[in-house]
């Protein structure tokens, strides 16, 4: 494979930091050449609560990935999570300039700038301004209006914002870990890059990345996102319920969930017993596996009901392609079955695919955000000119693309 660029993605999650280094080929193919994962306690529900601990975890994951690849990480695409991530949609319209009355790149930029000028509170940072569709002289559904004859150009955009302080603290941790930031990407949009097909996005689909502390949700229709949010629940809630009911440690509860748990009670034999190490007791005791699974099922049912309410609240009815569950929490046995029952729509569990290289234990739902960040970077690269990550003069396009964007959105 002829190398086009080397990209880095860093997923700073509630319980772990993952750093991936990927080569992008001239054909757009992605090969993982370095990976590092370090547990962290510096975040709570996707938001930095301890700077020093988070910096150590980021630096540790980066160092692992560098050692494996022999590559020095200079900059990265970094995921942003936490309940502070919100979205809104906005329209902008301009008259097409120039004598020929043909839509120019400048007209597109001006329309996007008008859409972006929507009132955003000063305590929030804009993460993304994504054009959903263009309307050319009343004709809707135009994906790329460049060089079309027109008098008036409108653009419909999806704007994703985050709390300025939460974004600043994350940025501070990444930079202190020795890495510059290429772009901050909402976790749900990164995960969508890893697990959704273009057909699903066109039809209408949701992606829910169930992490340890949060669920990153994005809804798509007509090929682009129209709603992005984060719910403050995740796999840790299930673990804490098990620990409380079974009177055991969080570590034992997590192991019980993974090895003996399921959300599908029909799959459990009522007579089956399992051994549980108890707090303050050496011998432990046997408990009914059904009792364990009932605790899991109750919490996951409530989680899916929260998801259903969040999606209903968007006012967008049925999503024909249903919902794709990813993230570590989606690996829980029976999640798809319970999801179908509660959400009343197609549900599939998905991890990333179509990636080569060091993929042992990587192509699981838990790594969708990290691999999605590399895919996001590859798309940005493809939209610019040939890349800029090679130390050789081969790279420069992403920088130019970013400079162009900065001139539009200073």
Task: Reduce the DSSP state of residue 187 to 3 states and report it.
Answer: helix
Q: Are the C-beta atoms of 174 and 10 separated by less than 8 Å?
A: yes
pLDDT, mean of residues 192-214: 97
Residues 6 or more apart whose CB falls under 8 angstroms from that of 42 comprise 48, 49, 50, 51, 52, 53, 54, 55, 56, 57, 173
Of 218, 225, 259, give the one whose Cα is nearest residue 242: 259
pTM: 0.90
- DSSP β-ladder status, 224-231 and 273-276: unpaired
1 pLDDT band, cuts 50/70/90, is: low
- pLDDT score at 107: 93
Task: Judge whether residue 409 has pLDDT over 50.
Answer: no
DSSP string, 353-404: -SEEES-TTTSSGGGHHHHHHHHHHHHHHHHSSSBS-SSSTT-BHHHHHHHH
User: pLDDT averaged over the chain?
Assistant: 90
| 4 or 247, higher pLDDT | 247
Q: How far apart are the first and last CA of the chain?
A: 37
4 pLDDT band, cuts 50/70/90, is: confident
Q: Are the C-beta atoms of 191 and 368 separated by less than 8 Å?
A: yes
What is the rounded CA–CA span in Å between residue 226 and residue 220? Answer: 6
Supply 260's token pair. 């003996």
Supply 257's token pair. 């969930």
Q: Are the C-beta atoms of 328 and 209 separated by less than 8 Å?
A: no
pLDDT tens sequence across 15-37? 999 999 999 998 889 999 999 99
What is the rounded CA–CA span in Å between residue 77 and residue 128? Answer: 13
Residues 6 or more apart whose CB falls under 8 angstroms from that of 208 comprise 215, 216, 217, 307, 323, 324, 325, 326, 327, 330
Of 236, 229, 93, give the one whose Cα is nearest residue 157: 93
CATH class of the domain defined by 86-163: alpha beta
410 pLDDT band, cuts 50/70/90, is: very low
pLDDT tens sequence across 46-71? 999 999 999 999 999 999 999 999 99
- pLDDT score at 317: 66
């Amino acid at each position: 494979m002829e190398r086009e660029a080397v990209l880095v993605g860093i997923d700073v999650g509630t319980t772990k930091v993952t750093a991936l280094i990927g080569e992008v080929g001239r054909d757009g193919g992605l090969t993982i050449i370095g990976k590092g994962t370090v547990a962290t306690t510096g975040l709570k529900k996707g938001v930095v609560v301890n700077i020093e601990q988070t910096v150590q975890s980021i630096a540790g994951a980066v160092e692992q990935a560098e050692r494996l690849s022999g590559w020095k990480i200079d900059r990265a695409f970094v995921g942003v999570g936490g309940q502070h991530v919100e979205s809104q949609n906005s329209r902008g319209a301009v008259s097409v300039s120039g004598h020929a009355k043909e839509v120019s790149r400048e007209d597109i930029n001006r329309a996007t700038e008008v859409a972006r000028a929507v009132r955003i509170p000063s305590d929030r940072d804009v993460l993304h301004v994504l054009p959903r569709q263009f309307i050319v002289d009343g004709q809707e559904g135009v994906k790329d209006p460049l060089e079309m004859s027109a008098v008036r150009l409108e653009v419909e955009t999806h704007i994703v914002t985050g709390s300025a302080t939460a974004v600043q603290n994350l940025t501070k941790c990444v930079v202190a870990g020795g890495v510059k930031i290429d772009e901050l990407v909402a976790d749900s949009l990164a995960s969508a890059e890893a697990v959704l097909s273009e057909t699903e996005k066109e039809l209408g689909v949701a992606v829910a990345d169930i992490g340890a502390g949060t669920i990153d949700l994005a809804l798509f229709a007509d090929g682009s996102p129209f709603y992005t949010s984060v719910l403050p629940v995740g796999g840790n809630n299930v673990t804490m319920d098990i620990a409380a009911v079974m009177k055991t440690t969080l570590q034992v509860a997590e192991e019980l969930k993974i090895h003996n748990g399921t959300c599908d009670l029909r799959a459990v034999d009522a007579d089956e017993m399992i051994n549980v190490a108890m707090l303050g007791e050496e011998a432990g005791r046997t408990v009914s596996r059904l009792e364990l699974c009932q605790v899991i099922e109750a919490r996951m049912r409530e989680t899916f009901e929260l998801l259903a309410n969040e999606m209903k609240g968007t006012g967008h009815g049925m999503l024909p392609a249903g919902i794709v569950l990813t993230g570590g929490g989606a690996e829980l046995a029976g999640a798809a079955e319970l999801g179908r029952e509660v959400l009343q729509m197609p549900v599939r569990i998905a991890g990333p695919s179509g990636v080569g290289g060091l993929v042992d234990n990587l192509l699981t739902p838990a790594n969708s955000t990290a691999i999605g960040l590399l895919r996001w970077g590859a798309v940005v690269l493809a939209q610019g000119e040939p890349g800029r990550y090679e130390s050789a003069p081969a790279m420069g396009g992403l920088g130019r693309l970013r400079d162009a964007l900065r001139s539009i959105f200073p």
